[in-house]
């Protein structure tokens, strides 16, 4: 009898259909049966000895929520026996409905129940507990996970012990993951957490990778990539990371129409074993990144979400260094400007913040200039060492891309048909803040904000707290200007100021969008006096 290994994850939803992702322990037919009679079935496909299905459910009624069950070969496997959680539901929204979108990034897997958590309560676990306690109350309509869903280079003690049971840790990559099987173990560890498992089964999610989904500072520079490719372990690590990302995350980001048109998905489903087809795809994504697009668009009534790949789409050569390759940049512009008057809110999800503390921005711009040879070869060599050591690889480290995004946002937010808000949603930097830009000589009609929320569940060392607090200060801004002058850096196309934060802790942000209004709330997971975790509101404000 087939068993449910992982999932279900409720992924894509719209007014009438949904996709539900599962991993099973053997080949079978997976079926989703809804209480209102809607259902869908899919045969599993095989990757590297694992079995998966993405079940498409159609015939749902807009504006309703219906409980569902999962069957494998006609045997019910979800809800789990004796589950303490309410039934999982598929909720659909009318075309003009309100949206409540929760987002964050950077989640270490929480320890098993009863284990000591060295970094405090998990914001996703705590969100799940709140929803489960009041299933009829307010809940997110969408969960955006903005990178570092798993940590391939910073594994738990339990995973380290598991890895040591299958290979020696004395050879590189040591206690980091090495292959697809070890990646699948990371997802097992993260997504079998009972609270998160239930949360992902009942709240639709969109995901995008960041560096730790593969390795810290992934694609920092051309020199970094050359050094990695010279090792005897990197190729398998990267291919396995991209393969597992496609299976565990990217498939669920795609709409039914996109799935139907995707040749890789067809090849994987139609073969007895899709491993080789997926491996060839991952190899092409590595050698010819511009041939593969990980970015995607979702429209929710009058809310447009663009999830932008700010890792694999980079051009790394110093003389033409950009965050997005030309095709990706053209795609982003096309999606922003397409029927611009059809949306009231534009959300740009990018794992790396566009607007950073001013000192950090100026240091990254300076570093980009000296690595490009602005101060000669000796400075360029030192600059590469500094770039890697200090993680200088955000949008600011790609100045032309930073300015291009600023120009695109200003154009999108100006004139007839402009949306009410343009929000750049990011994580990565292990603190939360709100920053608002201003353009010399122009004032967009839309309210524009950088909304950064990180981590969901991770450590925030004192050095990070002190560094980022100082980075936003007036003395740091003056210091940054002096550093930028040394690099002969041009002034950025946009100025900005911090209007909220910095806030530190395990946290999650929620955007509530109603008509042309927008409200932001930041909540942190904290342990109450009775020892139970709870989400506490840190700030709440109107954006429009």
Beta strand spans in 169-308 (E): 205-207, 296-300, 303-308
User: Would you say the C-alpha torsion 103, 107, 113, 118 has a positive or negative sign?
Assistant: negative
Torsion of CA 396, 294, 425, 224, to 10 degrees: -30
Question: How many Å apart are CA 151 and CA 241, to the nearest integer?
Answer: 11
Tens-digit pLDDT string for the chain (544 aa): 999 999 999 999 998 999 999 999 999 999 999 999 999 999 999 999 999 999 999 999 998 999 999 999 999 999 999 999 999 999 997 656 789 999 999 999 988 877 788 899 999 999 999 999 999 898 999 999 999 999 999 999 999 999 999 999 999 999 999 999 999 999 999 999 999 999 999 999 999 999 999 999 999 999 999 999 999 999 999 999 999 999 999 999 999 999 999 999 999 999 999 999 999 999 999 999 999 999 999 999 999 999 999 999 999 999 999 999 999 999 999 999 999 999 999 999 999 999 999 999 999 999 999 999 999 999 999 999 999 999 999 999 999 999 999 999 999 999 999 999 999 999 999 999 999 999 998 999 999 999 999 999 999 888 889 989 999 999 999 999 999 999 999 999 999 999 999 999 999 999 999 999 999 999 999 999 888 999 999 999 999 8
CA-based nearest residue to 452, from 211, 106, 149: 106
DSSP state of 174: T
Domain residue spans of the chain: 97-237+274-542
CB neighbours of residue 257 within 10 Å = 9
Side-by-side strand order, sheet with 142-145: 205-207, 142-145, 99-104, 507-514, 517-527, 533-542
Q: Which residues contact 13 (CB under 8 A, 6 or more apart)?
A: 19, 90, 91, 92, 93, 204
**Kind of pairing between the strands at 507-514 and 447-452:** unpaired
For residue 451, is the peptide bond before it cis, meaning its omega torsion is within 30 degrees of 0?
no
Q: What is the pLDDT of residue 116?
A: 82
437: β partners:
496
pLDDT given at position 189:
97
Walk across the sheet containing 421-426 and list its strands.
296-300, 303-308, 345-350, 421-426, 447-452, 432-438, 495-503
Tell me the C-alpha distance between 369 and 263, whole Å: 41
Of 316, 507, 359, 346, nearest in space to 420 by CA? 346
How far apart, in whole angstroms, are the C-alpha atoms of residue 346 and residue 300?
11
| Domain 97-237+274-542: which CATH number of 3.30.230, 3.40.50, 3.60.21, 3.30.70 | 3.60.21
pTM for this predicted structure: 0.97
Using DSSP, state whether 431 is helix, strand or coil.
coil
Element containing residue 22 per DSSP (H, E): strand 18-24
Lookup result for tokens 């009058």? 302
pLDDT score at 95? 59
């Amino acid at each position: 009898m087939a068993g449910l290994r992982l999932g279900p994850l409720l992924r894509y939803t719209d007014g009438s259909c949904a996709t539900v992702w599962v991993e099973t322990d053997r080949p079978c037919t997976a079926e989703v049966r809804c209480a209102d009679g809607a259902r869908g079935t899919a045969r599993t496909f095989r990757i590297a000895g694992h079995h998966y299905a993405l079940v498409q459910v159609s015939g749902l009624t807009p504006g309703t929520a219906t409980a569902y069950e999962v069957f494998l070969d006609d045997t019910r496997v979800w809800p789990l026996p004796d589950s303490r959680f309410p039934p999982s539901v598929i909720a659909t929204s009318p075309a003009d409905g309100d949206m409540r979108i929760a987002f964050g990034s950077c989640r270490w897997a929480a320890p098993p129940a009863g284990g000591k958590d060295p970094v405090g309560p998990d914001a996703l676990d705590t969100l799940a507990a709140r929803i489960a306690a009041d299933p009829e109350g307010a809940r997110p309509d969408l969960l955006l996970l903005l990178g570092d869903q798993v940590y391939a280079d910073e594994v738990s003690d339990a995973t380290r012990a598991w890895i040591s049971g299958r290979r020696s840790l004395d050879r590189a990559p040591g206690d980091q993951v090495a292959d697809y099987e070890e990646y699948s173990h990371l997802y097992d560890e993260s997504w079998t957490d009972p609270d998160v498992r239930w949360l992902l089964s009942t709240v639709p999610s969109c995901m995008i990778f960041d560096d730790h989904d593969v390795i810290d500072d992934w694609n920092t520079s051309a020199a970094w990539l050359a050094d990695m490719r010279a090792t005897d372990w990197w190729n398998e690590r990267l291919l396995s990371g991209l393969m597992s990302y496609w299976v565990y995350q990217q498939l669920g980001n795609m709409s039914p129409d996109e799935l139907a048109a995707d040749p890789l998905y067809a090849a994987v489903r139609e073969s007895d074993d899709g491993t080789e087809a997926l491996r060839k795809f991952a190899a092409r994504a590595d050698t010819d990144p511009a041939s593969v697009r990980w970015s995607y668009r979702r429209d929710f009534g009058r809310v447009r979400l663009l999830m932008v790949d700010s890792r694999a789409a980079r051009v790394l050569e110093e003389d033409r260094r950009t965050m997005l390759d030309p095709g990706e940049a053209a795609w982003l512009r096309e999606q922003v400007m397409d029927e611009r008057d059809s949306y009231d809110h534009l959300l740009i999800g990018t794992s790396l913040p566009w607007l950073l503390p001013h000192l950090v921005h100026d240091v990254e711009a300076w570093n980009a200039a000296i690595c490009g040879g602005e101060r000669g070869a000796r400075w360029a060599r030192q600059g590469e060492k500094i770039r890697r050591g200090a993680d200088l690889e955000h949008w600011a480290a790609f100045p032309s891309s930073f300015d291009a995004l600023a120009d695109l946002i200003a154009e999108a937010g100006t004139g007839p048909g402009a949306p009410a808000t343009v929000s750049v949603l990011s994580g990565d930097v292990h603190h939360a803040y709100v920053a608002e830009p201003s353009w010399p000589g122009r004032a967009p009609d839309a309210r524009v904000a950088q909304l950064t929320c990180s981590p969901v569940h991770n450590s925030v060392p004192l050095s990070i707290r002190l560094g980022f607090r100082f980075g936003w200060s007036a003395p740091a801004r003056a210091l940054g200007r002096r550093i930028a002058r040394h690099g002969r850096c041009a002034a950025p196309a946009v100025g900005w100021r911090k209007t909220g934060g910095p806030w530190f802790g395990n946290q999650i942000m929620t955007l509530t969008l109603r008509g042309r209004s927008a409200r932001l709330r930041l909540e942190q997971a904290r342990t109450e006096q009775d020892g139970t975790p709870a989400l506490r509101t840190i700030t709440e404000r109107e954006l429009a």
